[in-house]
Structure 1
Amino acid sequence: MQPSAKQFVLTHIVEKVSGLTAESIQASQSVKHFNIPWKILYRHSERLFTIALCCCKPRTDRIWTAATQITFKMISVNGNYESKTRRYTFANDSQAGWCGYSTFEWAMFLKEFAVDDKIILEVHVTIESMTGIERPEKLKHFDRADRKFTDVVLEVGEENFHVSKVVLAEQSTHFKRRLMDHSRQAKQSVINLEGVSSEDFQVFLELVYMENTLTDSNIEDVLKLVEKYEAKNPGRLCEQFLIMDSKHSLKTKMQIAEQYQFQKLKAHCLSNMKSRADVRAVMGTDSSELDAPLMRVLLEKLLQLNQ
């Protein structure tokens, strides 16, 4: 299976821009993507405003690297924006703090982007290569057969997953049809699954077996399998995680809510959009990234806040 591009976006709203103290470093909250914690750092000096992408992975004796392409965007509530792109390789021996940064003129920043005393920072990241980044520990092992609790082997790539047909069928309409409903494969003891990453399938199975496995790093990949395998209850657990525990931005959550028709998550996001800046942060700079129904909802919210 061809791996999907390792991409993510961090969004942060800077409030009370006029009160930013010179040289004081501010930060967004840390969010994990691809098993690495990241956050946005920013500060202003006498003439410059600096935005940085900080890799918060601790330094260790183990050698690791993450080569990235980073696009920094400053966005005003009115939708104007300025962007700069650069490349930076994070590593266990790189300096913490101002890693992967770009600077903007402070006077321009105040004049053209600080509307309602707020500004939106958006950092688009493409991880071009990674080495030495450890995979998350498995919460449940499916590589051993247990005749009491397993009766089928699912082949995913080079890994075998020993599971129960009944458990899978209870949680997944797809596997119920495939394993239980008098299908040809129902009698097979080994079934090959194509087009699936073994790492993602491991997390999906952990969720099916009710392990506390969801993280901001894996939620979007798990949701693809939830949809693929028509797993309604695991889908509800994903929605609950996004509402209660996720540190993803409102933009990411709203896009997920629209894509998977998570109405509770959608209502949660809308209720947390309390300013024009909140809505603009979800809209971003490229309207083509948003489906027409989602854009309509956001414009209605913007009109409501303008009243």
Structure 2
Amino acid sequence: MNDNPNFVFRWEVDTSTLETGKVESKVFNEGGFKWTASIEKFHLNGQDLGRIVVKCAGNNKGPWKCEADVEMMWHHSIGFIVPYGGKSKSFNEGNSSLEHHSVIWSCLLNPKAYSIDNKAIVEFQIRITNSEGCIPIAEPCKFTAPNHRSDVILKIGEEKLHVSREYLAIHSPVFETLFFGDFTSKDKEEVEINDVVYEEFLDLLNLIYPREAKITDRTVLHILKLADRFEMKNMVKEAEEYLMQSTGFDEMEKLLFSNQYGLAALK
């Protein structure tokens, strides 16, 4: 059972993106699980509607279960909240979606209904009543605001992380070159990092900063991938040592990782 099972995630939908007929939210890491929501247009009885689906995903390779009550609320343009009621669902790896309610499509675009400054705002209030196999995502709090050690912002998608150039450079020659080499980025206050997943990079930061975090079956593969990309030899070694003792991967998988990342001790 998770210690903090009640939370709300708020999704602000840019109404211009609704033209595609289907929009999906970013990932919300809450309660030890990954949550997303989506809106998909469909036609029923001569009317265009939007189907609202909530998805839950586990953070580890093994079986997981999340029993939850999910309430949905839309923000109306004149200032009140329209409740759409609640539904209960037992999410698991084979049944991870909840079709919540449908909404009239035109209401999402109407400034007299749910469109507020070209955004449709929906909130999901979730209460986890029982869970198994959940592994909390690393907390971003130490990187979401400037502190006395941070001197650069790393931008990953829409997310921003406040970090220390020098500290990252100590751990990674790639970051040392990026921040202190002959690159235009060395003088920038904000540097964009492409082709990485925000949550995975956050796990890496929580491992190399003074930490209580440890490598797990959930994190080891993306830690290994990122450590290899940013040439963090000590972190590659730590991931290799973890894989050697882990029972969460079979011998064939470990051999593949060994060949991919040159992990001699894993063969």
So what's the TM-score if we normalise by structure 2?
A: 0.52
Instruction: Please give the per-residue CA displacement for 1:240-270, whole angstroms capped at 9, x wherever unaligned.
Output: 211234522222212111111111122xxxx
1-structure distance, mates of 2:182, 2:61: 46
The corresponding residue for 1:14 is: none
Percent identical across equivalent pairs? 24
SS in 2 for 1:161: strand
1:168/1:176 contact within 8 Å kept: yes
User: Which structure has greater helix proportion?
Assistant: 1
The alpha-carbon deviation at position 37 of structure 1 amounts to 5.7
Residue 35 of structure 1 aligns to which amino acid in structure 2? N
AA matched with 1:150: S
Residue number in structure 1 paired with 2:185: 185
Contact 2:67-2:90 within 8 A present in 1 as well: no
Q: What secondary structure is seen at the aligned counterpart in 2 of 1:160?
A: strand
Q: Secondary structure at the match of 1:248?
A: coil
The residue that corresponds to 2:216 in the other structure is 215
For the structure 1 residues 180 and 65, does the alpha-carbon distance in structure 2 shift closer, same or farther, using more than 3 Å as the test?
Answer: same
**Counterparts in 2 of 1:1-307, with a 5 A limit?**
34-36=58-60, 38=62, 55-57=63-65, 59=67, 63=89, 65-66=91-92, 68=94, 89=95, 136-139=136-139, 141-146=142-147, 148-211=148-211, 212-245=213-246, 247-266=248-267
Measured on the aligned residues, the alpha-carbon RMSD in Å equals 3.2
Q: CA deviation at 1:171?
A: 0.9
> Structure 1: which amino acid aligns with 2:260?
Q
Any idea what the Cα deviations from partners look like across 1:46-97, whole Å, max 9, x if unmatched?
A: xxxxxxxxx34364556453464xxxxxxxxxxxxxxxxxxxx3689xxxxx
User: What is the SS of the residue equivalent to 2:65?
Assistant: coil
Report the Cα distance in structure 2 between the residues aligned to 1:203 and 1:260, rounded to whole angstroms.
19
- Taking structure 1 as reference, are residues 144 and 260 closer, same or farther at Cα in structure 2, changes over 3 Å only? same
- 2:81 maps to none
Q: Using the alignment, how far apart are the partners of 1:64 and 1:179 within structure 2?
A: 47
Partners of 1:243 and 1:67 in 2: how far apart?
Answer: 27
SS at 1:196 equivalent: coil
8 A contact 1:156–1:196 mirrored in 2: yes
Aligned-pair CA distance for 1:183? 2.6
Counterpart of 2:239, as a letter, is C
Name structure 2 gaps, 5 residues minimum.
1-25, 27-56, 71-88, 99-125
Bigger strand fraction: 2
Consecutive unaligned residues in structure 1, runs of 5 or more: 4-32, 39-54, 69-88, 93-130, 267-307
Amino acid at match of 1:206: N
Q: Structure 2: how far apart are the matches of 1:64 and 1:219?
A: 28
The code of the aligned residue for 2:266 comes to L
Change (3 A) 1:222 1:238: same
**Contact preservation (8 Å) 2:60, 2:217:** no
> Using the alignment, how far apart are the partners of 2:210 and 2:246 within structure 1?
16
Inter-partner Cα distance in structure 2 for 1:202 and 1:163: 11
Work out whether residues 179 and 186 of structure 2, in 8 Å CA contact, stay in contact via their aligned partners in 1: yes
In structure 2, relative to structure 1, the CA distance for the partners of 1:221 and 1:243 (3 Å cut) is same
SS in 1 for 2:237: helix
